[in-house]
Amino acid sequence: MKTKKILVDCHVFDETFQGTTSYLKGLYSELIQDKSKTYYLVANHPDKLEKIFDKHQNVFYLKYKFKNKFLRLLFDIPFLIRKHKIDFAHFQYIVSPIKMCKYIVTVHDVLFLDFPKYFPKSYKVKNGFLFKWSAKKSDIVLTVSEYSKQRIQKHFGISNIFVTHNAIDPLFLEEYNKREVQAYIKHTFGIENFFLFVSRFEPRKNHLTLLKVFVENKYYSDRMLVFIGNKAIDCEELDKYYQELPKEIKEKIKFLEKIKFTDLVAFTKAADLSVYPSIAEGFGIPPLESLAAETPVICSNSTAMSDFKFIKPFLFNPLDKNELNQKIIQALNHTDWKANKQKMLEKYSWEKSANEFLKAIERV
C-alpha cells in the first residue's frame, strides 16, 4: 500500500509562540508516531522544527525559499508539493491558490464575523473572503471546538467539518515544586505573588476588565498582575486606563512579551491564580494549561469556553466585574484541583485529536 505523504505549512514556528503553534506542535507530535505516513514540515527555520519534533525516519524538515507569505503560497508550496509528490497539504486558515494535491485547512475560528466590533475593517473584509475561499477549496476542513464548527457551518455553508480539539503540552503536566518555580520567577523577573493572564493583546481579550477588578478591589496591596502576550490589535481604552493609574499601582502590573515557552510554563506553575476573561474565543488553551499545572484558574463562560464544564463553578460572565471578583475569591480558596484536572484530560487529548485527523484523511 502506498505511504501517504503529508506536507505541513509550519511558518507559524518562525514567529512568536501562539495558539496555532500549540495546535500544530501537539497534533503532529502525536501524528508522527504513525509510521505508515510520511510528514514534510516546512518553515523558514527547519532547524527550529527539528528541535521541537526531534528526528524521525518518517519526518523531513524542509526550508521555504521565500519569507513573504504570498510568495510562499504562490511558489514555495506548489513547488514542494510537486517535487515530493505530496498527497495532502495542511494549512492554517489560508491555502495555496495553486492546487496540486488534496488540501486540509484548519480554521480555528471566525470570531471576526460574529464579533465584528473587535476587529479592524480591513481584517474582516480580507479574511472573510480568504477563509471562506480556502475552506471551499479544501478537501478536509478542521476546527478546534464544537462552537467554531457551528459558526463556520453558518457563515461558510460547509457541513462536513471535523473537530480536532486543542489539548495540553506535556510540560504543563510534569510534576514540580511550586516554591522552587516561584523562586525562579522572582529571581529571573522580579515578580512574586501574582495573578496571571496569558493572551495576545486585542480588545476582545478583555484585559481592561481584569485590570479594573485588580485595581478597584485593591489586590495590588499584596499581589501583582502579570499580562503575558504580544500586541496584535490596539487596545486604546486599556492603555488610557493604565496610564492614568498612580505610579505605586503601575509598579504592581507587568506586561511581558516574547518570553520563552519554558518561562511561560514556569509562570503558569508559579501563579497564585490564572485568569482568562476573554469575551470571544475559538477555543482557549491557557486556562487548560493552568488546570494541568493545578494552578487555581477562573475563565470566561463565553463562546467556546462554555464547553469547559470541568471548571463550571469557576466560569464567569466576562462583562460582569462583580462576578469576576467573586470567582477570584472562590478560586483562591479552592485547594484541590486534581478532580477538575482529570475531567479535563479525559475530554481533551492530542491522541483523540490525531485520531479524528486520521479519520478525516481515510474518508477522503
Q: Is 322's pLDDT higher than 80? A: yes
Q: Is 18's pLDDT higher than 80? A: no
Q: How far, in Å, CA of 364 to CA of 362, rounded?
A: 5
Q: How far, in Å, CA of 196 to CA of 193, rounded?
A: 10
Rounded to a whole number of angstroms, the distance between the first and last alpha carbons of the chain is: 16
Determine whether domain 4-167+349-363 maps to CATH 3.40.50.2000. yes
For the chain, which residues make up each domain, given as ranges? 4-167+349-363, 170-347
Q: Is 346's pLDDT higher than 80? A: yes
- Rounded mean pLDDT of 170-179? 96
- Rounded mean pLDDT of 9-14? 94
Q: How far, in Å, CA of 259 to CA of 229, rounded?
A: 8
**No. of helices (H) and no. of strands (E), the chain:** 16, 13
Neighbour tally for 329: CB within 10 Å = 11
Output the pLDDT for position 292.
97
The pLDDT-based confidence of 82 (bands split at 50, 70, 90) is very high
Across all residues in the chain, what is the average pLDDT?
95
Same fold, 4-167+349-363 and 170-347: yes
Q: What is the pLDDT of residues 56-80, one digit of tens each?
A: 999 999 999 999 999 999 999 999 9
Lowest-confidence pick of 10-19, 80-89, 349-358: 10-19
DSSP 329-360: HHHHT----HHHHHHHHHH--HHHHHHHHHHH
Output the pLDDT for position 1.
52
- Rounded mean pLDDT of 290-304? 98
Q: How far, in Å, CA of 178 to CA of 187, rounded?
A: 14
Rg (CA), the chain: 21
Contact call for residues 197 and 210 (beta carbons, < 8 A): yes
Q: What is the pLDDT of residues 239-272, one digit of tens each?
A: 999 999 999 999 999 999 989 999 999 999 999 9
CATH classification (class only), 170-347: alpha beta
Q: How far, in Å, CA of 155 to CA of 110, rounded?
A: 8
**Alpha carbon 172 to chain centroid, angstroms:** 14
Contact call for residues 172 and 250 (beta carbons, < 8 A): no
Contact residues for 323 (Cβ-Cβ < 8 A; gap 6+): 316, 317
Q: What is the pLDDT of residues 192-226, one digit of tens each?
A: 999 999 999 999 999 999 999 999 999 999 999 99
Q: How far, in Å, CA of 91 to CA of 4, rounded?
A: 17
In this structure, what DSSP letter does residue 76 have?
Answer: I
Give the total residue count for the chain.
364
Contact call for residues 227 and 252 (beta carbons, < 8 A): no
Strand order in 161-163's β-sheet?
A: 59-63, 37-43, 4-9, 88-92, 102-106, 140-143, 161-163
> What amino acid occupies position 156?
F
Output the pLDDT for position 364.
83
Q: Is 131's pLDDT higher than 60? A: yes
